[in-house]
Amino acid sequence: MQWQYKPKPDYEIVKRLQNELNIPEKNAYLLAQRGISNFEEARRFFRPQLTDLHDPFLMKDMDTAIARIEKAIKNNEKILIYGDYDVDGTTAVSIVYSYLIDFYDKVDTYIPDRYSEGYGISVQGIDFAANNGFSLVIALDCGTKAIDKVGYAQQKGIDFIIGDHHTPGEVLPSSVAFLNPKQPACPYPYKELSGAGIAFKLIQALQQKMQLPLDDIMPFLDLVAVSIGADIVPITGENRIMAYYGLKQIEKNPRPGLRALSRTKQDKTLDISDLVFTLAPRINAAGRIKHGKEAVKLLVEKDLSIANRFADEIELYNEERRGYDQKITVEALQQIKDQKEENRFSTVVFHPEWHKGVVGIVASRLIETYYRPTIVFTQSNGVISGSVRSVSGFNVYDALQACSDHIIQFGGHKYAAGLTVAPDQFDNFKAKFEEVVKNTITEVSMVPEIRIDTDLSFKDINRKFFNILKQMAPFGPGNMHPVFVTRGVNDTGYSKKVGKDQNHLKLSLRELKSGLTMSGIAFNMADKTGLVKSGVPLSIAYTIEENHWNNKVSLQLRIKDIKPVYEQQES
């Protein structure tokens, strides 16, 4: 791994923050590094305020969307809440459905089947709406590129309101209202909302229009927080505010569905990673293995005993998902070796019988071995469909655009996307994708990177420093968990392999300069045992966390990489 130091902040700003806030210099350094320069900015960062949420009517077409919903309610029309089958889509649908059903009963939900319908708005979904008397569809976390589908719906007398956050193309859907802050003509100040974030802005606008208290809809922020973590959107601006209060809601009074899904004792403050690694995979498992509507059923349920039953079923789907994930990863790695493709610039693998629900997870797994843009394909409904994952600094969406002559359709983000390819175009696509990646990727993007905030001595690590560090949460893109480097440490003699398969390292390290010791955990780094035990002075890259053990709480280092001192140079 390459260790890349973040830019150093202005030292004058660091000293000013240190004095104004009465905090350690290293904490002030981290704040200045994040663009915070004075007391007021620090206050807003540490204490996000709901009053700083933007007026939802600043979003283009929001007034039109609200007027159309009000008209539907007044005329007793049936409203269908339509969303994608992933975490962002199912949470978005659950937010709007739960809000509307409390005062209007002619509302239902629709999640497309991952296998028979695929991503986004489908002909089957529109036919369902038409056949069941729905005259208004509110599509969430999808629809930006559904030009033809929206036109088909219009022919059947169905209006669409689209609330999406995916990058629009040159042509926009002819929906009644198109809520997407990323469209060129939208003046909305914050552009990085998740799909569930846009769903929340929609109900916020309805609440304002009906002159009802905004406090009444704050419990919906639990689902917004889950979507923010799962969809890897920046945790800045409005997203930071909503994630902050959403985490508090999950801790204090989670909806029954989230309470039932949480399989761990909450003996510590929740953070975004808890949502990403505990709740999100289970919500996703419903759509991957059975159907996304199972996740919506769970998330809108108000009875905890029923929610527990739904959660038990979803846990079984999650276990099944794990099995497919492990099996396909092994097969994909073998395919790369068999086809002698270890030294390519991209990874493109395909098997017609791989489970469509886990190819995205497998793509992420493959990047852990071959760090390069990766696509895992399977066959479904006569076409080859794939899930794409990228590496730091490489825009895979642009790469797919350059290959569009060989693609039926695609959509997504800079670092993750999905696409379908005709079987007779697969080889052409694979060759073109490799060519595009080879000609556009930089050397830096081909090596895994750890972004380092600053060097730190063990003497700087104390409870006051850590308590202020914790208040910088929630962490995520745009505000990553600070990563530190300490140079010149060695093993005290008590470091050892741990874990069921002895593949982790429990470390006991002494800083040579100060003589102070710290414990640490290095997951999946048992191969570093020889280096640690060699006596060579080491440099370590790490984050700091609390370790809860036997009713005791202590600070420990979560190791990200270990190198001999002479190999680690500032870059």
* Residue in the block written with tokens 């490489």: 394
What gap in Å lies between CA 48 and CA 223, rounded to an integer?
A: 18
Joined together, the tokens standing for residue 278 give: 């505990």
Q: What angle do CA 78, 83, 84 make, to 5 degrees?
A: 155
Ranges of CATH 3.90.1640.30 domains, the chain: 56-312
**pLDDT computed for residue 551 by the predictor:** 83
For CA atoms 408, 413, 414, 418, the dihedral sign is: negative
Please tell me the pTM assigned to this model.
Answer: 0.90
**pLDDT computed for residue 270 by the predictor:** 75
CATH number for the domain whose boundaries are 449-567: 2.40.50.140
In the predicted model, what is the mean pLDDT of residues 389-394? 94
pLDDT tens profile 6-60: 999 999 999 999 999 999 999 999 999 999 999 999 999 999 999 999 999 999 9
Nearest residue to 87 (alpha-carbon basis) of 318, 393, 421, 394: 318
**pLDDT computed for residue 15 by the predictor:** 97
Give, for 344, the enclosing helix (H) or strand (E).
none
**pLDDT computed for residue 265 by the predictor:** 45
Nearest residue to 106 (alpha-carbon basis) of 140, 76, 138, 67: 76
Asked if residues 400 and 388 have their Cβ atoms less than 8 Å apart, the reply is: yes
**pLDDT computed for residue 169 by the predictor:** 85
Nearest residue to 175 (alpha-carbon basis) of 138, 202, 204, 209: 138
* Residue in the block written with tokens 């035990």: 533
pLDDT tens profile 216-240: 999 999 999 999 999 889 999 999 9
CATH number for the domain whose boundaries are 339-446: 3.10.310.30
Asked if residues 311 and 257 have their Cβ atoms less than 8 Å apart, the reply is: yes
What gap in Å lies between CA 504 and CA 128, rounded to an integer?
A: 51
DSSP helix/strand/coil, 138: strand
Ranges of CATH 2.40.50.140 domains, the chain: 449-567
Which top CATH class is 56-312?
alpha beta
Asked if residues 112 and 118 have their Cβ atoms less than 8 Å apart, the reply is: yes
In the predicted model, what is the mean pLDDT of residues 237-263? 93
In the predicted model, what is the mean pLDDT of residues 84-101? 97
Give, for 552, the enclosing helix (H) or strand (E).
strand 552-564
Give the lowest-confidence range in 25-29, 167-171, 369-373. Answer: 167-171
